[in-house]
């Protein structure tokens, strides 16, 4: 089911800190599926639960975008546990702030731990666009929008 995307820099849902899930159950799996469908229809590279009105720690992302190894994955309770000192400035946009694209500085490499939809703990090391998308979406879980980072670039 396609969900409605929350928009606006003053949106209270987008500005709230999200809480973790206690477990991965049918609700989480259904929400992840609905979010993946919504992200696909909106032509986004990532989507966080607050963007669809739910202040819980769940994101869905496309990794390896536009390659033979493209993969859509949900990350439950993601936590970035490592940020490289090397930074890259690249243009970002957001489904919750339509039509705005600005340069944002992000770490070039990250490590993120999370639960998969089977409830198993996972750890991924990601770089470049994959790292950028995860950082952008995890920011949403903390009530941070990419426009809040513009002065840092």
E strands, the chain, are 46-48, 58-63, 71-83, 87-94, 97-107, 109-115, 121-127
Residue 6 · residue 97 · CB < 8 Å: no
- SS3 string, 134-149, reads HHHHHHHHCCCCHHHH
Residues 106 and 131: their CA atoms lie apart, in Å, by 8
Active site residue 43: no
Which residue among 37, 43, 102, 137 is the active-site one? 137
Residue 56 · residue 94 · CB < 8 Å: no
Give how far Cα 130 sits from Cα of 14, 20, 44, 87, 139, Å.
22, 22, 13, 14, 14
- Catalytic machinery residues: 137
């Amino acid at each position: 089911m396609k969900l409605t995307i929350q928009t606006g820099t003053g949106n209270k849902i987008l500005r709230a800190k999200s809480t973790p899930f206690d477990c991965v159950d049918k609700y989480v799996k259904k929400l992840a599926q609905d979010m993946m469908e919504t992200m696909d229809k909106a032509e986004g590279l990532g989507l966080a639960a607050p963007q669809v009105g739910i202040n819980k720690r769940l994101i869905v992302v496309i990794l390896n975008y536009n390659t033979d190894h493209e993969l859509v994955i949900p990350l439950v309770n993601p936590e970035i546990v490592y940020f490289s000192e090397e930074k890259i400035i690249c243009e970002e946009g957001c489904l919750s702030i339509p039509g705005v694209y600005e340069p944002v500085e992000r770490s070039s490499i990250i490590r993120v731990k999370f639960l998969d939809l089977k409830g198993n703990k996972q750890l991924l090391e990601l770089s470049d666009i994959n790292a950028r998308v995860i950082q952008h979406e995890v920011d949403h879980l903390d009530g941070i929008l990419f426009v809040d980072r513009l002065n840092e670039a």
